[in-house]
Amino acid sequence: MYQSISKKLAPTGILRIAINTSNFLLVSGKNEQGIPTGISPDLGRKIAEELNLKFKYIKFKKPSEIADSVDQDLWDVGNIAFDPKRAAKIDFTKPYINIDANFLVKKKDNIKTNSQVDELNNKISVFEGSAYDLWLSKNFKNAKIIRAASVDESHDLFYKNEANILAGLRSKLIEDAKKNDDFELIEKPFTFIGQAIATKKGNPDVIKYLNDLILELIKNKYILELLKKYNLEDQLTIPNL
């Protein structure tokens, strides 16, 4: 069966794996040859191995670039977050990892809950095209959302007081809060990001195979071992599928 799936998923015989290099939790770095390392690259390689395919990584600076290029025949599978808008052109597996997204605020503003964030006088800095940016765009109506070209730039906007609230991944916001006593994390996530495997829409056999594989990799603790390998057990959670 895997041969049929291989041909549908990677007709060139090489599985092209789209990697979102801005996700510092899932792409931890690169080796001496410049090849990405981390949970996302490891999982892409695992899919190729299961299908007996050669593979190569296609690097993108942000998830929206992966989603926007789906019709350009640049990649076969991509590790990005599920989003209903993206699902118009992309098929997604069930999530293999959940990532919490939280708000970092300034203590002087006395903002204690997520509901207080969406007020007219607030400015939220966010990484443009991220899954949590998409969530904010859909769900927040009052606060001004200031979009930055990178994760680091979104943090800079917050530091420079161009925004009084920073939306981001929990682990990085915790680091910021520890470095500055004027900052405070709102403990309850405003959303969580389900990281999934994406493919071009229209191959139900492929998406079924990938869903079954994700379920098996969760059950046999392969995903858990990846968390341990990259010391991320306390920062990411495995879905109950």
Q: What's residue 240's pLDDT?
A: 83
What does DSSP say about strands 97-106 and 90-92: parallel, antiparallel, or unpaired?
unpaired
Q: What's residue 226's pLDDT?
A: 97
Cα distance between residue 35 and residue 143, in whole Å: 40
Q: What's residue 84's pLDDT?
A: 83
Cα distance between residue 216 and residue 30, in whole Å: 27
Q: Answer yes or no: same fold for 2-97+194-229 and 98-191.
A: yes
Cα distance between residue 2 and residue 5, in whole Å: 5
Q: What's residue 235's pLDDT?
A: 83
Q: What's residue 237's pLDDT?
A: 87
Q: What's residue 220's pLDDT?
A: 97
For residue 55 the two structure tokens come to 């593979």
Assign domain 2-97+194-229 to its CATH architecture: 3-Layer(aba) Sandwich (3.40)
Q: What's residue 1's pLDDT?
A: 63
Q: Which fold has domain 98-191?
A: D-Maltodextrin-Binding Protein; domain 2 (3.40.190)
Residue spans per domain, the chain: 2-97+194-229, 98-191
Cut 0.85: pTM above it: no
Distance between the two ends of the chain, CA-based, in angstroms?
Answer: 24
Q: Is 101 in contact with 191 (CB distance < 8 Å)?
A: yes
Going from the first residue of the chain to its last (241 residues), give the mean pLDDT of each consecutive group of 10, the final group possibly shorter.
86 96 92 93 97 96 92 95 88 94 96 96 95 93 96 96 96 92 94 93 95 97 96 87 68
